[in-house]
Structure 1
Amino acid sequence: MAASAQAAAEPKAAATTTTGGGFWTQQPSGADLERHYPFFALFFGVRGRAVLLCVVQRDGSLADCDIESEEPEGWGFGQAAAEITRYFRADPRLAGGYVRAPVRFEVAE
């Protein structure tokens, strides 16, 4: 099968962040999230979510993130969410504190 035909048949990812509190100054774009969608989950059309607990740095970046939860387990959504933390920025006034970063991964219809 030609590469272009394979690409056309592959599912398309749509990933979003769901956050509360209004403390985000920057969030990952859909393209950022799409690049990190777990491969097998995308291939099989599995949706998922993860929640990370992270420390806010002085510049608003996130560090020392722990995966608090991921659903469903075993598909790589926690690790994928951890990989996109570099695209988040929180209000620098929260430096030294903790924030929760919930991320939802969905396959586009």
Structure 2
Amino acid sequence: MMVRSQALRGLRAFLGALIICAPTIGYAASGSEGEPSTRIPTLLGSAFPGWKRVPNAIDMARAAPPDAMRNGISGTTILFCTVTARGTLNDCVVDSEEHPGKGFGEAALSLTPKFQMKPTKPDGSSVSGETVRFPVRFVAPR
């Protein structure tokens, strides 16, 4: 039993990052907290097709900013991206970042190749050229 609990603690420490992939309207402009964003995504609510692929826990742990994780600092970055016909993300920018300068924005951007949306919206039309805004949250291990 002792070995199992030690293994679980090690696994929790290794997989200390979490991703939340829901589309948001949200608040906070680039690099600041609490201000409305000027970027309005086109894929919201019933138009949001859902994710075909997202980063897994190991991808998240590898991308997480090591200094922030080591110091117990968690953070959320809001990304704004254009969606291709295949559902991959292009031209992504950090729309807002919790704890600027701690590496969360760069870490979230490094994960964008791991994301893929379903290529068609619920109404059957293509996602090509649409935009999406979503949070990526990194949780420091305890």
> How far did residue 101 of structure 1 move?
2.7
Partner in structure 2 of residue 18 of structure 1: 20
* TM-score, with length taken from structure 2: 0.65
Rate the CA distance shift 1:22–1:108 in 2: closer, same or farther, 3 A: farther
CA distance in 2, matches of 1:107, 1:13: 9
- The alignment yields a C-alpha RMSD, in angstroms, of 1.6
Matched residue type, 1:14? G
How many matched pairs?
Answer: 100
CA distance in 1, matches of 2:74, 2:131: 26
Show CA shifts across 1:85-104 (max 9, x none): 11100121211100113100
Are the counterparts in 1 of residues 15 and 58 from structure 2 also a CA contact under 8 Å? no
Partner in structure 1 of residue 133 of structure 2: 100
Matched residue type, 1:33? M
CA distance in 2, matches of 1:45, 1:62: 30
Matched residue type, 1:38? P
> How far did residue 64 of structure 1 move?
0.2
Query: Equivalences for 1:1-109 in 2 at 5 Å?
Result: 12-20=14-22, 21=48, 23-93=50-120, 94-109=127-142
- Larger radius of gyration between Structure 1 and Structure 2: 2
Show CA shifts across 1:15-41 (max 9, x none): 222122551111110100100111211
Are the counterparts in 1 of residues 78 and 135 from structure 2 also a CA contact under 8 Å? yes
Higher strand share goes to which structure? 1
Runs of 4+ in 1 over 6 A off after TM superposition: none
Gaps of 5+ in 2: 1-9, 23-47, 121-126
* TM-score, with length taken from structure 1: 0.83
CA distance in 2, matches of 1:16, 1:95: 28
Are the counterparts in 1 of residues 69 and 141 from structure 2 also a CA contact under 8 Å? no
> How far did residue 65 of structure 1 move?
0.2
CA distance in 2, matches of 1:74, 1:49: 12
